């Protein structure tokens, strides 16, 4: 009879995210196991390989980010809901150092066909949520382009701000993101 699992996949993936934030793409399954307080064999058995772990982490991250964005969509003001959803995309980056390490992993992910496909799925899901929220806020954003382009612009603002902030950090990522998103939304509102 197999022993019951004493640690969830989610906890192992959380440990992987923490380790990637600390050491970047050169992380090992042993470091993930140590962070989670389990044997290396436990991590290897669950995910098969480092690549399998990264694929599972990518899927979890997509579900998590989209879930947080949907929670933002519950705000009463649709423009504030849209603003909050853009900001929450990268809220979990942490410090500039951890952000740089996660972005280093992103560079590695882009080079792997399976991980790149999962990144495509992630960005597609995030953009779909931005489209939904942009559509809901459209009446209050008369200067915005069409929904598809507006969502793409907001995603570009978020991606660019996250990259720039991780390289040249000043203040907190959520504050930087808020300033950049506000610049776009204010222009789209037609306010000065």
Q: How far apart are CA 167 and CA 26, in angstroms?
A: 19
- For 80-163, strand residue ranges (E) read none
pLDDT at residue number 93: 86
pLDDT at residue number 2: 54
Say if residue 6's pLDDT is above 90: no
Q: Which residues contact 63 (CB under 8 A, 6 or more apart)?
A: none
> Per the structure block, which two tokens stand in for 10?
């989610």
Q: Please, what are the domains in the chain?
A: 59-189 (1.10.357.10)
Say if residue 92's pLDDT is above 90: no
Q: Which residues contact 56 (CB under 8 A, 6 or more apart)?
A: 9, 13, 47
* Percentage of the residues of the chain whose pLDDT score is greater than 70: 96
Biggest CA pair distance of the chain: 68
Say if residue 84's pLDDT is above 60: yes
pLDDT at residue number 94: 86
- Residue 5: pLDDT band by 50, 70, 90 thresholds? low
Task: Give me the mean pLDDT over the 75-87 stretch.
Answer: 98
Whose CA is closest to 126, among 93, 156, 161?
A: 156
Q: What is the pTM of this model?
A: 0.92
Q: How far apart are CA 28 and CA 134, in angstroms?
A: 40
Q: How far apart are CA 37 and CA 19, in angstroms?
A: 13
pLDDT at residue number 75: 96
Task: Give me the mean pLDDT over the 14-20 stretch.
Answer: 97
């Amino acid at each position: 009879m197999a022993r019951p699992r004493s640690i969830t996949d989610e906890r192992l993936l959380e440990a992987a995210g923490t380790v990637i934030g600390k050491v970047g793409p050169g992380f090992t399954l042993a470091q993930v196991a140590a962070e989670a307080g389990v044997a290396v064999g436990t991590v290897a058995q669950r995910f098969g390989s480092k690549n399998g772990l990264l694929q599972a982490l990518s899927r979890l991250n997509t579900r998590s980010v989209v879930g947080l964005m949907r929670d933002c969509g519950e705000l009463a003001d649709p423009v504030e809901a849209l603003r909050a959803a853009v900001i929450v995309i990268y809220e979990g980056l942490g410090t500039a150092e951890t952000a740089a390490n996660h972005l280093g992993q992103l560079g590695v992910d882009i080079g792997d066909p399976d991980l790149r496909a999962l990144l495509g799925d992630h960005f597609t899901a995030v953009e779909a949520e931005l489209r939904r929220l942009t559509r809901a806020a459209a009446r209050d954003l008369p200067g915005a382009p069409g929904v598809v382009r507006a969502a793409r612009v907001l995603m570009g603002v978020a991606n660019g701000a996250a990259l720039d902030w991780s390289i040249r950090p000043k203040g907190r990522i959520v504050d930087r993101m808020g300033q950049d998103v506000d610049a776009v939304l204010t222009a789209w509102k037609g306010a000065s």
